[in-house]
Amino acid sequence: MSEKYELSRRKALGGLATIGLAGAGAGLGTSAYFSDEESFANNELTAGELDLVVDYWTSVDQGSATGETGSTTGSGRIQGEGSAVGEYQIADVKPGDSGKLVFCPKIVDNPAWLWAGSTGFTQYENGYTEPEGDVEEDEIDYRDGSDYTDFPVPDDGPTGEGFGELADNIQVTVAYCEPSDDLEGAPPEGPDDFETVRELENPDDYTLADLLSELQTGYLLDGLEESDGEWMPTDDGAYPGSPDFETQTGQCICIDWEVPTEVGNVIQTDSVEFDIGFAAEQARHNEDPQTPFATVVSSDTELKTALDDGETVIFADDYSDSIPEVERTTTISPSGNPYTYDVFDINTSGSGLDLGSEGDFRQYGYIGEYGQLRVAAGYVNPNTNVLRIFVNQGEDDNPLYIVVTDQPDDDSSITPLGSDPVYVAKVDASISP
């Protein structure tokens, strides 16, 4: 049985008077198990034997401007039937601002595998003020090879969807947490009423962009329950069930965020849009749970279908092991370019691909650890079965899965692939010690 809830994809943090919004909604979980399916879309509820609810609390600290910027925080319960819509609307975000989100899932009344996940995030560059334009001159100039070093940035400059930097400049800390002992059993009223049980692995300079990228393939929460004042793992590792909607048996999740004061003008006018969701699936008779936030693929055919459907993908172990790994051919550092590139020659012989002639550009997709398809182009080597590609050395997503096509470099997408041939390989562009 499974059930899935999701904070809907709306703007959640805005910069320099750019208003953001986060809504609460419910998605639909499907599996071969009994399920509780809830959806806000049509205000309909079909109840099964497993019921997931998520209580939440949010706050923001904007110094002396707190309460005066039009920001909206609050608390509520995501339970279905259209009964709760949460709103986290933070306006006029500036360096030094901070906030907190707390999520307390309850699963009534059976233990379950509990996942947190996201469909991703979108950043927006909503225009350039003169201070931001001065800061970003070099970066803007490099984005697409155009010269945007003079302010004001022209109308056809890199603005709008995909060009903001706000999520990259918000530092986050994620922890398991619980209502404070000081409450003495009283219900929490806000995020300050929670204390840390254990911080999760938060690397240095861990950002909102990092967190949301990781959540795209889902994060399986540990099964913990309190015993004599100590939080201990559950016997089967599953998140513990609660006897009712008011009893918190498992741990909560706290996300603290802050815009460091040293960030400066680079985030002016920027905004970011994202969602966070939770999904529960029964633990009984289900020893090998699969993330509901991505599609596990076991063959080239399944991979093509998932990519055509726009799914986030995870490669099954057997399939991943069968994919040939290509060693780097060389490394180059182009003059005037700040990056170093690893060069890989992908030999597609026997795949059915027609790459064309030497020097032709052909598109390929690449998929990293977060399961998202991105598109680039390589060129055909003198051996016309070989596509040469260039990957930033030190690429965080390793290994990278490469999906070679024979499509010309004239589109921003390689899908739909349908029944077209592809060649799948993997490369490792991490910096060797």
Distance separating alpha carbons of residues 52 and 278, to the nearest angstrom: 9
Q: What are phi and psi of 403, to 5 degrees?
A: -115, 100
Distance separating alpha carbons of residues 263 and 377, to the nearest angstrom: 34
pLDDT tens digits, 163-188: 778 889 999 999 999 999 999 889 99
pLDDT tens digits, 345-396: 999 999 999 999 999 999 999 999 889 999 999 999 988 999 999 998 877 7
Q: What are phi and psi of 261, to 5 degrees?
A: -65, -25
Tokens at 408, concatenated: 């010309």
Do you know the residue count of the chain? 433
The reply to whether omega before 399 is within 30° of 0 (cis) is: yes
Distance separating alpha carbons of residues 140 and 123, to the nearest angstrom: 15
Q: Where are the domains of the chain?
A: 2-124+162-293, 297-427
The residues with which 424 forms a beta bridge, in sequence order, are 403
81 three-class SS = coil
DSSP 306-337: HHHTT--EEE-HHHHHHSPBPPEEEEE--TT-
Instruction: Return the residue matching tokens 């889902």.
Output: 218
Instruction: Return the residue matching tokens 């920001």.
Output: 71
CB 163 within 8 A of CB 6: no
Q: What are phi and psi of 333, to 5 degrees?
A: -130, 90
Tokens at 391, concatenated: 């990957």
CB 366 within 8 A of CB 400: yes
pLDDT of residue 319: 96
pLDDT tens digits, 330-346: 999 888 777 889 999 99
pLDDT tens digits, 5-52: 444 333 334 332 222 222 233 332 333 443 343 333 333 433 345 788
169 three-class SS = helix
pLDDT of residue 274: 82
Q: Measured between alpha carbons, how far is residue 187 from residues 83, 174, 190, 194, 333 in Å?
A: 20, 22, 9, 11, 58
